[in-house]
């Protein structure tokens, strides 16, 4: 049995809105007990004291930020190690095919089906090396 009544939800929302607007406007309390209850709740919320953060709140947040930055450095190092391992593994397993393709391109000279991907790969590798050299090979470089 579904007990969700969309009309009831709409009525509750309207009662809450009316209670807040009546309270702000200073109108007399309505005869509807639901609105009167919401008005009392609204008044209680308005006079409730705002909680203050704990005394060492700023120091605790600063410590959390430092810890997060330290773990980010470790994570970045691990990602770079994984990427290096994958690149080395790819080169080891594909070196015979790459060498054969490079020799075919050098020998034939006119076969552009292999020359274009090879040139693109060399260009990407050179651009990446220049970028890393420009940044100084630091872990914190982004």
Residue 118 contacts residue 102 (beta carbons within 8 Å): yes
Residue ranges of the chain with per-residue pLDDT less than 50: 141-142
Residue 26 contacts residue 42 (beta carbons within 8 Å): no
Instruction: Determine the pLDDT at residue 87.
Output: 84
Instruction: Determine the pLDDT at residue 17.
Output: 92
Q: pLDDT tens digits for 40-71?
A: 898 898 888 888 888 899 899 998 888 776 66
Phi, psi dihedral angles at 56 (to 5 degrees): -100, 25
Query: pTM to 2 decimals?
Result: 0.35
d(CA 122, CA 74): 30
Question: Hey, what are 96's tokens?
Answer: 């015979």
Instruction: Determine the pLDDT at residue 141.
Output: 46
| Cα–Cα distance list, 64 to 76, 93, 108 (Å) | 18, 43, 61
Q: Which of 60, 1, 8, 65 is nearest to 34 (CA)?
A: 8
């Amino acid at each position: 049995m579904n007990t969700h009544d969309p009309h009831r939800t709409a009525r509750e929302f309207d009662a809450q809105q009316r209670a807040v607007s009546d309270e702000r406007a200073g109108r007399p309390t309505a005869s509807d007990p639901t609105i009167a209850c919401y008005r009392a709740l609204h008044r209680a919320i308005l006079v409730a004291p705002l909680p203050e953060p704990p005394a060492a709140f700023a120091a605790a947040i600063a410590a959390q930020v430092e810890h997060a930055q330290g773990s980010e450095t470790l994570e970045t190092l691990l990602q770079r190690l994984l990427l290096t391992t994958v690149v080395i593994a790819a080169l080891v397993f594909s070196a015979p095919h790459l060498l054969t393709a490079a020799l075919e391109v050098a020998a034939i000279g006119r076969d552009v089906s292999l020359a274009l991907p090879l040139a693109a790969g060399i260009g990407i590798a050179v651009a990446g090396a220049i970028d890393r050299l420009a940044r100084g090979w630091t872990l914190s470089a982004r």
